[in-house]
Amino acid sequence: MRQAESISVSGLGVGYGSRRVLAGLSLSIERARLTALVGPNGSGKSTLLRALAGLLRPAEGEVLLEGQPLSAFSRRALAQRVSFLPQSPNVPDGFTVLDLVRQGRHPHRDLFSRWTVADDAACERAMAQTALDELRDRPLQTLSGGQRQRAWIAMSLAQQTGIMLLDEPTNFLDIRYQVEILELLRHLSRAGGKTIVVVLHDLNQAVRYADLIAMLSDGGILASGPARTIVSAETVEAVFGVRTRLLLDPVDGLKFVVPAR
């Protein structure tokens, strides 16, 4: 298993054509921690995630992987270190769970190389970690939303990267599967040593499952820090423009946010 790696951005500016989405953004992602990116729609969360994956070229500033700019890595070398799971990825027609998981091995194989014992072992480990062993031969179209999302995560795990980037992995899932996916990601970070960055819409889920939270507003980081302390009524109002109250869970003492009436 590849050891967790560090990734950071400094003075990052990114846009689409003439439209600037991120400007002067700096953030350090801690190694082997689960970091949640939160903020209102249009704040730049998904754009930041794509920049971390090397899919968007900075107009200014830089993204550093282990202290080296992403431009210093070949596409293949970067894919061996960083995996990216976009929102609602398309399900290939006729693919089974195993077919999808095997796609994660592409960065580790030459075009005409044979499938190896190491490839098999990586896929088996990924399906075991995501509890998909018994579903390996099931077509993806027959799975529930939560099972399908686990299959995509298994593909990322088969890629054996130290860093995993996931854009709204709980989108369109009911509460049971949202919790299942977030529990899995937290386990992969804490027990598996993965550095995980995830975009979330639900602030309460970010507080409960993330180690660190970065709150984006207008293309910059308004606040970042430990999930248990960074969220306050003041920061929530500054980021989302909504007055809230923070209550404490009587069982574990975690904060949860409710709108103020």
Give pLDDT tens digits for 11-46. 999 999 889 999 999 999 999 999 999 999 999 999
pTM: 0.94
pLDDT in tens, 127-170: 999 999 999 999 999 999 999 999 999 999 999 999 999 999 99
CA distance 179 to 182: 5
**Res 184 pLDDT > 90:** yes
pLDDT of residue 5: 66
For residue 120, pLDDT beyond 70: yes
In the chain, list all ranges with CATH 3.40.50.300: 1-81+163-232
- pLDDT at residue 93, rounded to an integer: 86
By C-alpha distance, which of 13, 38, 17 is closest to 225? 38
Confidence of residue 88 (pLDDT cuts 50, 70, 90): confident
Query: Which residue type does 189 have?
Result: S
Using an 8 Å Cβ cutoff, are 181 and 173 in contact? yes
Q: Quote the mean pLDDT of the chain.
A: 94
Distance CA 144, CA 169 (A): 14
Average pLDDT over residues 177-191: 96
Is residue 258 a contact partner of residue 243, using CB atoms and an 8 Å limit?
no
Average pLDDT of the segment spanning 230-239 = 96
Q: Which two tokens stand for residue 10?
A: 């400094």
Q: What is the mean pLDDT of residues 219-230?
A: 95
Q: What would the mean pLDDT of 180-195 be, rounded to a whole number? A: 95
- For residue 91, pLDDT beyond 80: no
Query: Which tokens sit at 242?
Result: 């909504």
Residue 173 has pLDDT above 60, yes or no: yes
User: Is 1-81+163-232 a domain of CATH 3.40.50.300?
Assistant: yes
Q: Is the pLDDT of residue 2 over 60?
A: no
How far CA 92 is from CA of 6, 89, 101, 117, 139, in Å, comes to: 32, 9, 12, 25, 10
Residue 4 has pLDDT above 80, yes or no: no
Residue 23 tokens, joined: 């400007």
